Structure 1
Amino acid sequence: MQRNDSGLPRGLELRHLRYFVAVAEELHFGRAARRLNLAQPPLSQQIRQLEELLGGPLLLRNSRSVQLTPAGAAFLGRARRTLRNVHDDVWEVRSISQGARGVLRIGFAGSAILTVLPGLLSRYRTQAPLVDLNLRESFTAQVVDGLLSGSLDAGIVRDTDPVSGLDIRTVSSEPFVAVLPSDHPDAHLAAVPVDVLRGRPFVYYPRSAGTRAFEKPLSLCEAAGFRPVIAQEASQWLTILRLVGAGLGVSLAPASVAEVAPANVVCRPLSKVTLESNLQFVCRTDDRRPLVRSFEALALEH
Structure 2
Amino acid sequence: MAVAEELHFGRAAARLNLAQPPLSQQIRRLEAIVGAELLRRNSRSVELTAAGEAFLERARRTLRHVQEDVAEARRVGQGAQGVLRLGFAGSAILTVVPELLRRYRGAAPLAQLQLSESFTAQVVAGLLAGDLDAGLVRDADPAPGLSVRTLFTEPYVAVLPAHHPAADGADMDVSALRRDPFVYYPRSAGARAYEQPLSLCAAHGFRPVIAQEASQWLTILRLVGAGLGVSIAPACVRQVAPDSVVCLPLRGPELRSEIQFVQREGEARPLVRAFAELAGEVAQESV
TM-score by length of 1: 0.88
Task: State yes or no: 1:278 paired with 2:253.
Answer: no
Query: 2:114 aligns to what?
Result: 134
Match of 1:182 among 143, 162, 168: 162
**Deviations for 1:210-258, whole angstroms, at most 9, x for unmatched residues?**
0000000000111112111111000000000000100111101111010
Q: CA deviation at 1:299?
A: 1.0
**Deviations for 1:100-132, whole angstroms, at most 9, x for unmatched residues?**
222111111000110111111111111111111
Q: CA deviation at 1:62?
A: 3.9
Map 1:2-81 → 2, pairs under 5 A: 21-81=1-61
Query: 1:219 aligns to what?
Result: 199
Match of 1:192 among 164, 172, 179: 172
Secondary structure of residue in 1 paired with 2:140: coil
TM-score by length of 2: 0.92
**Deviations for 1:31-68, whole angstroms, at most 9, x for unmatched residues?**
43344344444333322332233333211234543211
Map 1:165-176 → 2, pairs under 5 A: 165-176=145-156
Distance 1:46 1:216, change over 3 A: same
Task: Report % sequence identity.
Answer: 70
Task: State yes or no: 1:237 paired with 2:233.
Answer: no
* Count of residue pairs the alignment pairs up: 282
Structure 1: 4+ residue segments shifted above 6 A:
none
Map 1:80-229 → 2, pairs under 5 A: 80-229=60-209
Distance 1:274 1:38, change over 3 A: farther
Q: CA deviation at 1:290?
A: 1.1
Q: Which runs of 5+ in 2 are unaligned?
A: none
Amino acid at match of 1:146: G
Query: 1:260 aligns to what?
Result: 240
When the two chains are superposed, the root-mean-square deviation of aligned CA atoms in Å is: 1.7
**Deviations for 1:66-101, whole angstroms, at most 9, x for unmatched residues?**
211111111111212222223323333333333222
Amino acid at match of 1:232: Q
Amino acid at match of 1:169: R
Q: Which runs of 5+ in 1 are unaligned?
A: 1-20
Secondary structure of residue in 2 paired with 1:121: helix
Partner Cα separation in structure 2 for residue 58 and residue 202 of structure 1? 83
Q: CA deviation at 1:195?
A: 1.6
Partner Cα separation in structure 2 for residue 39 and residue 126 of structure 1? 48
